[in-house]
Chains A and B, each alone.
Chain A
């Protein structure tokens, strides 16, 4: 296919996505959705979001570039367009963001044919929701020290241990599970499993975050049985597989269409500017104060830089190495989001004290709530400190911290 033909087809597909999203935008649910997919807790929200994701899958906005035999739509270079249009349209996020963003990319690389055919289609339709069982009470940033054990018993594995910070744990039917199969080999003693959540020995308990929401859970695993065919890749290859999953989580892979939050960063910047214009202090709009203007314009500049980084990442002669820009995405994006919210609270001044459901709160307390939720971005999936280790070591070749 010539480049011109390809470009034309991509433009047509973009037009199609835009039109479809405009015509099929769902009516809002009866109660307000949380700000992002990882905070969804309640059944009514689950049902609403499952319907929406299934519809988007049918329309071709999810699994756009995945082969048909695995339930995908079999296009090439269309997913990035679909995902960009979904973000742009400001429609609800996709509930199964872990399945789309982590399970699917992992299985596409490491899964067997049977695993891909069995597990990928219900990920795309949200018929099966996924959660992630990596972190443990004693293994956060130092993930490789995880202790949950898997002991071979005939054709099965017996799992014992506990996982924590498990988003969607209460709603998920499957968990991506890292478990230790060899106590004497730190890195090569970890194996990667797909664990069914609905079985004896699995106990899920909600954890309330500092926001008061209970977006994540602790999961206790007591003599849980996992058949060997639910193992991903070789025994002892779990760390390697997990690194590829985390790479997907960090935005390296275009993935299969995970969109976990319905707000685009640039959209939030414009809302911040509007907020500063309508918020008055001592008789003046905050926007007229050069100190706040400078802070807002700086975060605007960095947000545009993140967009342009994404553009540059696709041009091999300009990106300084395939992983250099993608590995920055998570740490930079989460820190920009956090600072943006800090600025918004500063703009609101004393009014930033008003929280969700206070009748005088600005936009129902979204900035205070959103600010606290930004720590999800800066801590989970490898904290910003761990990200900087990875960037220093893998991209710049600095000596390994550990």
Chain B
């Protein structure tokens, strides 16, 4: 199969992307986020942050149908592909928006690969979901799960669960007699232990299960295959978030370089400032193109999807690190403060850089194909 030349970016998806961008510009999620963070600045005081998100915005997003755009029509969704989902995620990254939509889109692609119509129907009905797949040492391999299944009861701990405090339910990898399977667990059946994390726009935590009631999503023994098929989508979605955030960092830093004056000139006049900003653009554009390619491959050329997704995440992780680094450095002293918005995007990028494997990890896996 071959990909469409335009990345499958239909008129409909272009409109969707513009709508999401406009919506988030109006909502300004960072304003609400900042209010929720007041008094929690000092990490030495050990403040746990609340996993704040704009609940009205989430309700509005659901009214607009963004939570179900990648849910198949058979389960009550819109039935669009990863190109559409990645376009939405790119805008969420640009706005650094805390929202359960991020993890729900990821969960959607795992459920699609599992053919889990019932759980997909839950998403369509408004349930937010997150993946609870990591072991304590950060492995995403199904075989490394620390959760055990006994019939429909799960016991153990899943680590590094994204949007842990925002989600209504979780997709958990658990070992049963027949091998590792995937299960749906309602948030009310587990204990969420929030992590103290660097990124202010996300929340993360451990899911502790003690005989939690679960529904089977993927039969014991099949979790590895399902996750392997979904992995390109997960990598691409994070790359999309990074691409959007990197574009924000680029534009914000370029604007600052036009207005901030030193030595009687806007600092963007100086090549020591100008050239690194151009390098941010080059990095952001490489990531964005590879990300669209990966999304189109997942939708239209599955045999090539993993290669394309690893290329995209490899680029994205390095772009996240580079653009975050330059955005703070080129803002000078103000960029180093809590008040500066660049710190918020910087930390989101730090988080995304390592989520589902950093650049070096992706490249090591890519090399194995040759």
User: Which residues of A does B touch, CB under 8 Å?
Assistant: 273, 277, 287, 290, 293-294, 296-298, 300-302, 304-306, 308-309, 311-312, 314-315, 317-318, 320, 324-325, 328, 331-332, 385, 388-389, 391-393, 395-401
A398 to B293, CA, bound (A): 30
- The winner among B258, B278, B281, B290 for most chain A CB atoms within 10 A is B278
Residue pair A297, B367 in contact (C-beta under 8 Å): yes
**Would you give 23 A-B contacts (Cβ < 8 Å), ordered by A?**
A297-B367, A298-B359, A301-B290, A301-B363, A302-B286, A304-B311, A305-B290, A305-B315, A308-B290, A311-B5, A311-B289, A312-B7, A315-B7, A320-B247, A388-B275, A389-B271, A391-B278, A392-B274, A396-B250, A398-B254, A398-B266, A400-B269, A401-B274
- Please count how many residues in chain B sit with their CB below 8 Å of the partner chain's CB atoms: 41
Residue pair B285, A298 in contact (C-beta under 8 Å): no
Q: Which of B267-305 contact A (CB under 8 A)?
A: 268-269, 271, 274-275, 277-279, 281-282, 285-290, 292-293
**Which A residues touch B314, using CB under 8 A?**
297-298, 301
The contact of A312 among B247, B269, B289, by CB within 8 Å, is B289
Known: A293-B367, A399-B266. A309 touches B285 (CB 8 A): yes
Residue pair A399, B268 in contact (C-beta under 8 Å): yes
**Which B residues touch A397, using CB under 8 A?**
254, 258
Residue pair B367, A309 in contact (C-beta under 8 Å): no
Question: What is the chain A residue whose CB lies nearest that of B314?
Answer: A301
**Which B residues touch A290, using CB under 8 A?**
364
B interface SS class: helix
A389 to B315, CA, bound (A): 24
Residue pair A318, B271 in contact (C-beta under 8 Å): no
The contact of A398 among B257, B285, B367, by CB within 8 Å, is B257
Nearest Cβ on chain B to A328's Cβ, whole angstroms: 6
**Which A residues touch B277, using CB under 8 A?**
392, 396, 398
Residue pair B254, A315 in contact (C-beta under 8 Å): no
User: Which residues of B does A touch, CB under 8 Å?
Assistant: 5-7, 9, 14, 247, 250, 254, 257-258, 265-266, 268-269, 271, 274-275, 277-279, 281-282, 285-290, 292-293, 311, 314-315, 318, 359-360, 363-364, 366-367, 370
Nearest Cβ on chain B to A6's Cβ, whole angstroms: 12
Residue pair A312, B366 in contact (C-beta under 8 Å): no
Nearest Cβ on chain A to B250's Cβ, whole angstroms: 8
Known: A317-B9, A328-B282, A399-B268. A388 touches B274 (CB 8 A): yes
- The winner among B258, B268, B288, B367 for most chain A CB atoms within 10 A is B367
Known: A296-B367, A398-B274. A312 touches B288 (CB 8 A): yes
Nearest Cβ on chain B to A307's Cβ, whole angstroms: 8
Inter-chain contact count A-B, CB under 8 Å? 124
**Which B residues touch A396, using CB under 8 A?**
250, 254, 277-278, 281
A354 to B250, CA, bound (A): 43
Residue pair A317, B14 in contact (C-beta under 8 Å): yes
**Which A residues touch B250, using CB under 8 A?**
396
Known: A294-B363, A297-B366, A401-B269. A308 touches B14 (CB 8 A): no
Residue pair B286, A398 in contact (C-beta under 8 Å): no
A305 to B268, CA, bound (A): 27
A401 to B288, CA, bound (A): 28
The 7 A-B pairs with the shortest beta carbon distances in the complex, nearest first, are A305-B286, A308-B289, A297-B363, A398-B268, A392-B274, A399-B269, A293-B367
**Which B residues touch A401, using CB under 8 A?**
269, 271, 274
A389 to B14, CA, bound (A): 31
**Which A residues touch B266, using CB under 8 A?**
398-399
**Which A residues touch B288, using CB under 8 A?**
312, 318
Question: What is the chain B residue whose CB lies nearest that of A316?
Answer: B14
A317 to B268, CA, bound (A): 27
Question: What is the chain A residue whose CB lies nearest that of B266?
Answer: A399
A328 to B281, CA, bound (A): 9
Known: A298-B314, A298-B363. A392 touches B285 (CB 8 A): no
Residue pair B285, A389 in contact (C-beta under 8 Å): no
**Which A residues touch B290, using CB under 8 A?**
301, 304-305, 308
Given A328-B281, A398-B266, A399-B258, 12 extra CB contacts under 8 A: A290-B364, A294-B360, A301-B315, A304-B311, A305-B315, A320-B285, A328-B282, A385-B275, A389-B271, A396-B254, A398-B258, A401-B274
Residue pair B281, A391 in contact (C-beta under 8 Å): yes
Question: What is the chain B residue whose CB lies nearest that of A312?
Answer: B289
**Which A residues touch B286, using CB under 8 A?**
301-302, 305-306, 309, 332
Residue pair B281, A318 in contact (C-beta under 8 Å): no
A400 to B265, CA, bound (A): 11
Nearest Cβ on chain A to B161's Cβ, whole angstroms: 29
**Which B residues touch A287, using CB under 8 A?**
367, 370
A290 to B360, CA, bound (A): 10
- The winner among A308, A314, A392, A399 for most chain B CB atoms within 10 A is A308
Nearest Cβ on chain B to A110's Cβ, whole angstroms: 29
The contact of B282 among A277, A296, A332, by CB within 8 Å, is A332
